[in-house]
Amino acid sequence: MANQQKPLGRLNRRQLLKSLAIAGAGGAAGLSTFLASRRGQAQSAGEPRFLIVLAGAGGASMIDSFLAIRQSEAGAAAPGINCFPDNEVISVADSPFRAVNLRRNAVGAIPVPFQSNQSNFVTKHKNDLMVVTQLCTSVNHTIAQKRAITGGGSAWNGRTLQEAVAAQYGAGFALPNVNMANGGYIEPGVDRSIPVHAFAEPVAQAALWPLSLDGSRGIKDAPSRDRIALARALRDQKLEPESAFDRTFKRSERLELWKEQRLAETTLEAQDLISKLNVYPNLPPQIPLNDYGLSESPDGDKVRQKFPDFATDPLEAQAALAFLLLKNRVSVTVTISPSFNVLLDTRFPPKVVNPPLAFDFSHQSHRAAQAVMWGRLLGIADRLIDLLKAEEYANGQSFWDRSMIYIASDFGRTKKRSGGADDFGSSHDLNNGFAILSPLANGNKVLGGVDPTTGLTYGFNPEDPVGVPDRNKQMSEIEIYAGILHALGVDTSGSALPDMRAMRKNA
Amino acid sequence: MRPDKYLAPLCALAFLACDSTDELDGGTLPPGVDASADAGTPVDSGPIDVGPVFAESAKANLRIKSNLRLRNDLAQALGLAPNEVCLEMGQYSCTDFVHAVALGGVEPYTLGLNEPQSHTTLTTPIAVERVVMAACTKRALDDLGSAQPVIWKDLGIAADGKLADPGTAGVTNSITTLYQRGLLRDPKAREIEHLTQLYRDLEADGGANPARDWAILTCFSVLTSLEALFY
């Protein structure tokens, strides 16, 4: 047991070396093939499918969006549970979904008016939208976040959804699994057996991160790439091997990992990702790209039109980078998340872009926090989908045709309020569900349901593609985890994961 | 100057670290490794140009310098202020902001990343090289235009940007200064030989400013070496 837990913190060192070497090779066919063959790793089977995890950090409540309850449905219980005036809950035509359109004068104690419109989003994307109910197992943010991406922590030996997707499809990609989130959403899984390339590359500053993909470009007066190559070769082949340090510590696993990771440098640089992934235009004096020999992405205009506030809103920057990572076939899975920091747009009229604590501002003002944050997430998802739909993958198929957005949530929120209050606080609750957007999912379906007199969701028959509701069943984290992977075509043989036919489009 | 004078404390630290609960490989020794002769124990005087041969460390528990340590060590070695070491586009700190997480740092206030990554990631070597390249470039350019250079002194650069003679004492002394400031030891004869040969290789490509680039790349190759980055 000790031997399993010590190496490199959470990961087995040999497995990590193997995985990162292949991941480093990534996207670059030459080195990828070389390392894959050298390490005996199979290439991914089948064309890739793409997973975008969009974190509902703080607790995205399903009964404040697609499963909203009208006061008239709650009856006598209405003053005591979280339900809405009937006119604020919109039933979307030809779909089982509801949407909440709200307008209020303040976000809790923040005296800034807001309005939210979920119905436009649902109307536009209903055929790709699937809502599943679930009962999670933790109301601690960090733990619950990690369980939302690991099926409760141990669904498949503890590997995250992103690691599973990267393991399946990421072999030929430069950085198959890029994670820009935080808290439990960025924690690695604990499955020691995952093959190759599956571990996440953490990204903190999404808009500037592409600068870390080239060792010298953008540094004024730096020598030419050819000359740098001479210096690298001297270091790697002569100075280091002959040094007492290297000979003394040559069994260091960290040194071995480092040397493997360095192999990927020139390959990453050759792909010009420092340009392809750069959302920023030349904007002197703040962003003087031209002065430093840098350039923006060829897709810069297109991405900035969709995410014009990327420079001030970290979530927009993450979404922009997420699209470019997928579009340029650098990654097969990306994870993005709003932070817990407040973000105000002070232009007139002022706007609360991100309440403090994101969805968790529901402690102070449930209704406003949920409305603002759902609007924020759905807006990001809508724009990502538009971009992916407009980008051809191959043979007339778009990237979106092969993608999924999983709106993960830590947990739900308590369902109660007092005296029919419109503004009230809520706590963490195990009972909730998820929204999943994908042409690969069983779209235009609510799998499970909600009791309008309690606000509690209930489950469904996982074997039935119609998703027959079952009031006596709660869906487990493992089941939802399995359903997501199966919809993405991930081979889960040997995992003992349950079959979730109800969540697949072609069940 | 004896190299083992400086390696011995380092190895002693490594030995102490090996006794921690975070040791690698659970204490299982590889075949052929003598546990009684750990790092820092000279087992052979070795060839004179490369120095003594040390016992191979059985546990070899090393750490990489994280973002702030890297920044401060580079600043110290190259005689720069910490905020001069590396600035993306001349204004955004590489080590404190742009590449902080890739360099093993944290980002608690804006992103809630409270713990550093447990291992180096694929972009870490590139980020490290970027930081060192920026710092070395600044040092070289400042020195070559200064009457009181910190490292690159009396190189004898001709008007065509070439070294008049790569074998001069000025070249050797500059390399020695770099090693003393960066690695806290003298260079071996072989290392001086390799780095002098690097100049000849650079000059052979016919490009401009081979001497300037040699100063930058000598600094780069030494300060991105394993010995400079791990402890």
Number of domains into which chain B is organized = 2
Contact between B119 and A6 using a beta-carbon 8 Å cutoff: no
Minimal Cβ distance to B7: which of A23, A201, A244 = A244
CA distances to A230, A505, B26, B126, B195 from A49, rounded to whole Å, are 39, 14, 39, 28, 48
CB-based contact B174:B151 (threshold 8 Å): yes
Within-domain flag for B36: yes
Are residue B46 and residue B96 in the same domain, yes or no?
Answer: no
What is the per-residue pLDDT for A457? 98
Distance CA A277, CA A272 (A): 9
Supply the DSSP symbol for A281.
-
Last residue of a domain, one of B13, B29, B54: B54
Minimal Cβ distance to A202: which of B60, B101, B221 = B101
Question: HSE (CB half, 13 Å, CA atoms) of A436?
Answer: 31
Given the DSSP bridges, would you call strands A50-56 and A333-336 parallel, antiparallel or unpaired?
A: parallel
Within-domain flag for B177: yes
Residue of B nearest to A16 (CA): B119
Contact between A234 and B40 using a beta-carbon 8 Å cutoff: no
Are residue B181 and residue B108 in the same domain, yes or no?
Answer: yes
Q: Enumerate the residues of chain B whose CB falls inside 8 A of the CB of residue A287.
A: 89
Q: Which of A204, A164, A271, A28 is nearest to B124 (CA)?
A: A204
Are residue B196 and residue B94 in the same domain, yes or no?
Answer: yes
Q: Which of A361, A363, A297 is nearest to A325 (CA)?
A: A297
> What does R_g of chain B's alpha carbons equal in angstroms?
20
Task: For B125-173, write each residue's pLDDT tens digit.
Answer: 999 999 999 999 999 999 999 999 999 999 999 999 999 999 999 999 9
Distance CA B151, CA B153 (A): 6
Are residue B116 and residue B213 in the same domain, yes or no?
Answer: yes
What is the per-residue pLDDT for B12? 41
Are residue B150 and residue B216 in the same domain, yes or no?
Answer: yes
What is the per-residue pLDDT for B43? 62
Single-letter residue type at A330: V
Contact between B60 and A252 using a beta-carbon 8 Å cutoff: yes
- pLDDT(B180) > 80: yes
Are residue B139 and residue B212 in the same domain, yes or no?
Answer: yes
Minimal Cβ distance to A215: which of B91, B102, B126 = B126
Contact between B60 and A250 using a beta-carbon 8 Å cutoff: yes
Minimal Cβ distance to A247: which of B56, B118, B221 = B56
B-contacting residues of A 247-306, CB under 8 Å? 247-255, 257-258, 261-262, 264-265, 268-269, 286-289, 291-292, 294
- pLDDT(B220) > 80: yes
Are residue B125 and residue B173 in the same domain, yes or no?
Answer: yes
Distance CA A480, CA A462 (A): 10
B-contacting residues of A 167-226, CB under 8 Å? 175, 182-183, 186, 188, 199, 201-205, 208-209, 211-216, 218-224, 226
Whether residue B107 lies within 8 A of chain A, CB to CB, comes out as yes
What is the per-residue pLDDT for B28? 52
Are residue B20 and residue B85 in the same domain, yes or no?
Answer: no
Are residue B74 and residue B18 in the same domain, yes or no?
Answer: no
Minimal Cβ distance to B39: which of A7, A228, A249 = A249
Within-domain flag for B62: no
CB-based contact A488:A49 (threshold 8 Å): yes
Within-domain flag for B16: yes
Q: How does residue B30 score in pLDDT terms, banded at 50, 70 and 90?
A: low
Within-domain flag for B59: no
- pLDDT(B87) > 90: yes
What is the per-residue pLDDT for B6? 43
Distance CA A213, CA A441 (A): 34
Are residue B93 and residue B184 in the same domain, yes or no?
Answer: yes
Distance CA A29, CA A12 (A): 26
- Provide the phi-psi class of A395: left if phi over 0, else alpha when psi is between -120 and 50, else beta: left
Q: Which of B133, B132, B105, B129 is nearest to B117 (CA)?
A: B105
Q: Enumerate the residues of chain A whose CB falls inside 8 A of the CB of residue B225.
A: 235, 239-240, 243, 245
Are residue B71 and residue B174 in the same domain, yes or no?
Answer: yes
Distance CA B90, CA A390 (A): 36
Average pLDDT over residues B100-107: 95
Count Cβ–Cβ pairs < 8 Å, chain A vs chain B.
246
Within-domain flag for B14: yes
What is the per-residue pLDDT for B118? 83
List alpha helices for A235-299, DSSP H. Answer: 240-242, 244-248, 253-262, 265-270, 273-276
Q: Enumerate the residues of chain A whose CB falls inside 8 A of the CB of residue B222.
A: 235, 239
Q: How many Cβ atoms are within 10 Å of A260's Cβ, its own excluded?
A: 23
What is the per-residue pLDDT for A92? 96
Within-domain flag for B61: no
Within-domain flag for B218: yes
Are residue B34 and residue B94 in the same domain, yes or no?
Answer: no
CB-based contact B131:B87 (threshold 8 Å): no
Q: How many Cβ atoms are within 10 Å of A483's Cβ, its own excluded?
A: 28
ipTM for the predicted complex comes to 0.87
What is the per-residue pLDDT for A105? 97
Lowest mean pLDDT among A292-296, A463-467, B70-74, B178-182: A463-467
Q: Which domain holds residue B178?
A: 67-229
Per-residue pLDDT of chain A (507 residues; tens, 9 = 90+): 333 333 333 444 444 444 444 444 333 333 333 333 323 233 345 899 999 999 999 999 999 999 999 999 999 999 999 999 999 999 999 999 999 999 999 999 999 999 999 999 999 999 999 999 999 999 999 999 999 999 999 999 999 999 999 999 999 899 999 999 999 999 999 997 886 589 999 999 999 999 999 999 999 999 999 999 999 999 999 999 999 999 999 899 999 999 999 998 999 999 999 999 999 999 999 999 999 999 999 999 999 999 999 999 999 999 999 999 999 999 999 999 999 999 999 999 999 999 999 999 999 999 999 999 999 999 999 999 999 999 999 999 999 999 999 999 999 999 999 999 999 999 999 999 999 999 999 999 999 999 999 999 999 999 998 889 999 999 999 999 999 999 999 999 999 999 999 999 975
